[in-house]
Amino acid sequence: MDTKTTFYQGFGGTSLALHELGKGRPVILLHGLFSSAQVNWIKFGTAAQLAAAGFRCLMPDLRAHGQSAAPHEAEAYPPDVLARDVAALVDGLGLEDFDLVGFSLGARTAARSVIAGLAPRKLVLAGMGLEGLAGWNQRLAFFRKVIDGFGTFRHGDPEYLSQQFLKTSGVDRVAVRQLIGAMEDTDPAALVAIAMPTLVLCGDQDNDNGSADKLAQALPNARRATIPGTHMGCVTRPELGAELVSFLTTSA
């Protein structure tokens, strides 16, 4: 089964890559910061598991990531620009009945998209805790430090793993610094808008974005699941795809 890559226009006409695998029920998969659809969903077989279960995997590279454009201009990064890009994808494909899955930055984007009015049948927030949504400014300071001090962090430093991931991904550091500044904290009271069945999914060693338990408790219709792995490691595990397939194919 081959992956097909096309391009669509996001907010402001920005050219964004879309990778597709499989046929059937549409599921949008949003990757994490400094990553890409290839790394999070395709490389380790998660998309293939979903495709084998009857899903059409729609996997955009978020702006400033992967094969998507990485503009440097500040006007290309208004508040919630990633949610605007997701809305453009849904509108462009004419999707009316679909599921939405996000990991880390993708989970933050998915939550912001739903709060803005997007209405997937089911939602998965992976690699995310309550503080990762409500306390984004603390994470923002960390990632700005990684970008601004790129190349200076050594093994054992808290920033080291993120620095090395940024290095191997080849993400445009100027563009991604603009992007992370476009994100905003989410008022926990706004989470009431996330009323569809939701899976909060994290690795058993993943506390990077705070408490997944607290996030699940804050949502009106959520359940919690745990798979092996750290924040970066859990996306390499077959258990990720298995949990997604189970949740998305179970009637709710």
Do residues 134 and 111 touch, judged by C-beta distance below 8 A? no
103 in helix, strand or coil? strand
Rounded-to-integer distance, Cα 52 and Cα 72, Å:
39
Return the pLDDT at 184. 86
What is the identity of the amino acid at 234?
C
**What ranges do the domains of the chain cover?**
4-249
Rounded-to-integer distance, Cα 96 and Cα 103, Å:
22
Averaged pLDDT score across all residues of the chain: 96
Rounded-to-integer distance, Cα 251 and Cα 25, Å:
14
Residue 100's closest CA among 91, 92, 22, 109? 109
Specify the DSSP element, H or E, that contains 11. none
| pTM tops 0.75, yes or no | yes
Architecture of domain 4-249: 3-Layer(aba) Sandwich (3.40)
Return the pLDDT at 252. 64
User: What single DSSP character describes residue 216?
Assistant: H
Longest dimension (CA), the chain: 50
Return the pLDDT at 26. 98
Return the pLDDT at 126. 98
Percent of the chain with pLDDT over 90: 96
Q: Is the pLDDT of residue 211 over 80?
A: yes
pLDDT band (50, 70, 90) for residue 242? very high
Average pLDDT over residues 219-225: 97
Percent of the chain with pLDDT over 70: 100
